């Protein structure tokens, strides 16, 4: 994309309405603009990050056999009356009356709808397990929306739902999802620590939440640093084998990790002193097993092995996709701006032309840009160098390809790594090979 013609407005000043770093940086880097309290438009660069995150989430859900579908945003109140949650949910639910005076709502979650659809489609225990997910906009009418997309009202979320014939099988599914989550966060370039959680209003027996470490996190966290050092992508788990899943899960849960609510001083004392980490965390995912709560309350039974009605065991599994954009920034920035992990960055690199209008500089910049116009942001504006550097740092591209008259004469490009600040020099081909190395 050429910056001179793009809808990527950076701001030099800190917007006064933003109280936390990620909100400030998302506004300043031109990722979002507020359109109503707690509701945001995603500008082109912001949408790219959102989509990169969603694609990684999707890939890891698919890898454990979850099937993607898409449920609507507007739901009938009748569905929620069947489960008994319509009255219980409170004012966070955006209640709507349509032109025929029917009670509707903007879905904050989809347990009722998926359970109803499951009941229409699945007839026998032989079709289990089923894991279904969607990535869809949801709405929670927060009384005080704040911190940008961190606590917005309209938010983008992946929610998965599982149906198993018995508890043991549901536990297998839960463990597969745990592995998928650990891999998802690792691929996103952040560490999210899984913590044993209370099951809260959804109810249930087995639950973990995933927290990204950041000083602005809403919860205090205590964990064994060994958790940060695991390579879940390399973890050898046969997801079709119960023992293999159990072995993985036992090892993973053997490392101490707890939020302040669940913190246990006696267990904490058992963690080797050098591995004790304390900090704050932002919740970006939550997985629950809740058994037959919805299948029973909504009377969704299928045919069991003995022919008798069987109420499947369920779980639900959320990842806050739009919230992750903010959480990753909270965890990965410096005083100059965002530092995007390569996997989610809106652009792999900025091309910074230090002398726009100079034939040699322009030629090298165009050559770089032509190699991957969709992955590179060419700063072709007639701004001074300082402004271009500042914007590139602010927007957080993993690399900067700096083209000035001196190097250009020799066909050389200066390459800056945003995270380390390290600078090297290379040919056009060498520079492109480096910044596009993770791209086919």
Q: Which residues bind a second copy (CB under 8 A)?
A: 1, 4-7, 9, 30, 33, 35-37, 39-44, 46-47, 50, 62, 65, 67-76, 79, 91-92, 94, 96, 98-99, 102, 104, 106, 113, 116-117, 120-122, 127, 130, 132, 137, 139, 141, 143, 153-154, 374
Backbone angles phi, psi at 133, to 5 degrees: -145, 160
Nearer to a second copy, 158 or 208 (CB): 158
Task: Specify whether the CB–CB gap between 83 and 113 falls below 8 A.
Answer: no
Q: Is the dihedral of CA 431, 434, 435, 440 positive or negative?
A: positive
Give least dist CB 116 to a second copy, A: 8
Task: Specify whether the CB–CB gap between 161 and 315 falls below 8 A.
Answer: yes
Whole-number Å distance between alpha carbons of 141 and 348: 36
Whole-number Å distance between alpha carbons of 378 and 373: 8
Q: Is the dihedral of CA 211, 29, 385, 424 positive or negative?
A: positive
Give least dist CB 169 to a second copy, A: 14
Nearer to a second copy, 122 or 434 (CB): 122
CB-count burial class (<10 Å; 0-12, 13-18, 19+) for 16? exposed
Token pair recorded at residue 355: 């002398």
Give least dist CB 33 to a second copy, A: 6
Cα angle 426, 431, 437 (rounded to 5 degrees) comes to 140
200 CB neighbour count, 10 Å cutoff: 11
Roughly what angle, to the nearest 10 degrees, separates helices 167-187 and 242-254? Answer: 60
Give least dist CB 349 to a second copy, A: 19
Nearer to a second copy, 65 or 411 (CB): 65
Nearer to a second copy, 67 or 427 (CB): 67
Give least dist CB 8 to a second copy, A: 9
Give least dist CB 306 to a second copy, A: 20
Give least dist CB 136 to a second copy, A: 8
Nearer to a second copy, 10 or 244 (CB): 10
Read off the DSSP letter of residue 178: H
Nearer to a second copy, 39 or 196 (CB): 39
Alpha helices in 316-422 (DSSP H): 321-331, 359-371, 385-395, 405-409
Residues in contact with 377: Cβ distance below 8 Å, sequence separation at least 6, in sequence order: 1, 3, 6, 8, 346, 347, 349, 350, 351, 395, 397
Give least dist CB 59 to a second copy, A: 11
Nearer to a second copy, 126 or 251 (CB): 126
Residue from 193, 131, 191 nearest 163 by CA: 131
Nearer to a second copy, 125 or 210 (CB): 125
Give least dist CB 71 to a second copy, A: 5
Nearer to a second copy, 114 or 282 (CB): 114
């Amino acid at each position: 994309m050429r910056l001179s013609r793009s809808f990527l407005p950076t701001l030099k000043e800190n917007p006064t309405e933003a109280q936390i770093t990620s909100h400030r940086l998302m506004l300043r880097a031109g990722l979002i603009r507020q359109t109503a309290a707690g509701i945001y438009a995603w500008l082109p660069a912001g949408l790219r990050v959102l989509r990169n995150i969603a694609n990684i989430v999707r890939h890891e859900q698919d890898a454990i056999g979850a099937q993607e579908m898409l449920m609507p945003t507007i739901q009938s109140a009748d569905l929620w009356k069947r489960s008994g949650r319509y009255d219980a949910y409170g004012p966070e639910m955006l209640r709507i009356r349509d032109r025929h005076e029917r009670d509707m709502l903007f879905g904050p979650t989809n347990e009722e709808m998926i359970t109803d659809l499951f009941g229409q489609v699945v007839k026998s225990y032989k079709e289990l397990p089923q894991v279904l997910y969607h990535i869809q906009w949801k709405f929670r009418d927060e009384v005080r929306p704040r911190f940008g997309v961190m606590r917005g009202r309209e938010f983008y979320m992946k929610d998965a739902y599982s149906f198993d014939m018995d508890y043991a099988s549901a536990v297998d599914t839960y463990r597969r999802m745990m592995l998928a989550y650990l891999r998802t966060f690792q691929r996103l370039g952040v560490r999210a620590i899984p913590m044993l959680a209370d099951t809260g209003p959804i109810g249930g027996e087995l639950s973990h939440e995933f927290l990204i470490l950041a000083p602005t996190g809403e919860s205090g966290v205590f964990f064994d640093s060994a958790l940060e050092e695991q390579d879940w992508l390399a973890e050898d788990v046969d997801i079709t084998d119960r023992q293999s899943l159990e072995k993985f899960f036992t090892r993973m849960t053997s490392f101490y990790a707890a939020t302040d609510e669940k913190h246990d001083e006696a267990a904490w004392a058992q963690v080797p002193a050098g591995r004790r980490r304390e900090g704050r965390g932002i919740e970006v995912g939550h997985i629950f097993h809740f058994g037959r709560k919805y299948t029973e309350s909504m009377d969704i039974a299928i045919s069991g092995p003995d022919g008798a009605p069987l109420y499947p065991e369920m779980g639900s599994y959320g990842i806050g996709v739009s919230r992750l954009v903010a959480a990753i920034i909270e965890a990965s920035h410096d005083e100059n701006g965002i530092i995007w992990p390569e996997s989610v960055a809106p652009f792999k690199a900025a091309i910074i032309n230090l002398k726009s209008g100079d034939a040699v500089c322009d030629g090298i910049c165009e050559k770089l840009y032509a190699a991957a116009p969709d992955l590179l942001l060419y700063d072709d504006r007639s701004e001074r160098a300082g402004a271009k550097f500042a914007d590139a740092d602010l927007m957080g591209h993993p690399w900067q390809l700096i083209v000035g008259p001196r190097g250009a004469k020799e066909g050389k490009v200066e390459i800056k790594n945003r995270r380390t600040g390290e600078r090297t020099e290379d040919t056009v081909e060498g520079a492109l090979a480096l910044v596009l190395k993770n791209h086919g």
